Structure 1
């Protein structure tokens, strides 16, 4: 349908909205990270990111998606803080990229039809969805 700044993805046990466009979200992200969104995105891409780049992008994305600051922080403390961090980098990149250039009007990380997608749950080994569909047996 068009581009938007919100991304929806399975995270912490359910489909959640992340959006940096509501007033104040990007400003809080910039203040917390002492960098603009594109600089943070570049650090996420080249592996020089700081913990705050990842955490604050997720928190502010959740706040912009409709969650309270307190609830967003609690969710990150429960689902991200105790886990290896690299698995959450693709989500942080997607949140920032949607704010910068827009995202397609569709959910990210849709499951395989067998219940909840494991994407971005602590049980998942990687936050990245498969890049290709499995070959069908003919």
Structure 2
């Protein structure tokens, strides 16, 4: 997992930083969804999610990524609650946010073991996160 557990995701609101990799945010998510974190993740993955699984994951992920709580709520209202294109894209965003908590940020040097260090790869500057684009993006591809 990256040092901050943060992932940039391009979605209907544009590119935003998401982070749930903080104990307090995970506990808040579990309370709002009335389920353990692993159950929320399984519901998002299997298609058995409830609306709070989607909207609260996105809202709390935005807050953890540095967005003010009122702006995060406005983004959720505009791009989840009132999304005329359906919830499928928001489900994908929510699932990406919880995956970072469980599996870390892909290709993140913080997650590599010391055994992997220096095996013929040039040294690179460490990254603090990654960017994911979902089909929900209004951004040009």
Whether the TM-score (by the shorter chain) exceeds 0.5 is: yes
SS at match of 2:18: strand
Distance in 2 between the 1:86 and 1:13 partners?
A: 15
Higher relative contact order (CA 8 A, sep 6+): 2
**CA-CA distance at 1:100 after TM superposition:** 1.4
Is 1:12 paired with 2:28? no
**CA-CA distance at 1:59 after TM superposition:** 0.3
On the 8 A contact 1:6/1:99 being kept in 2, the answer is no
Q: How many equivalent pairs are there?
A: 114
Is 1:80 paired with 2:91? no
* Residue in structure 1 matched with residue 91 of structure 2 by the alignment: 89
Matches within 5 A, 1:1-138: 3-4=1-2, 5-83=5-83, 84-104=86-106, 105=108, 106-109=130-133, 119-121=135-137
On the 8 A contact 1:38/1:96 being kept in 2, the answer is no
In structure 1, the gaps of 5 or more residues are: 110-117, 130-138
On the 8 A contact 2:11/2:93 being kept in 1, the answer is no
On the 8 A contact 1:29/1:60 being kept in 2, the answer is yes
| Higher radius of gyration, 1 or 2 | 2
Structure number with the higher helix fraction is 2
In structure 2, the gaps of 5 or more residues are: 109-129
Q: Which string of whole-angstrom CA distances, capped at 9 and with x for unpartnered residues, describes residues 49-94 of structure 1? A: 0000000000010000001221101111011111211121111111
1:87/1:58 Cα in 2 relative to 1: closer, same or farther (>3 Å)? same
SS at match of 2:22: coil
Cα RMSD (Å): 2.1
Distance in 2 between the 1:65 and 1:20 partners?
A: 8
Distance in 1 between the 2:94 and 2:18 partners?
A: 9
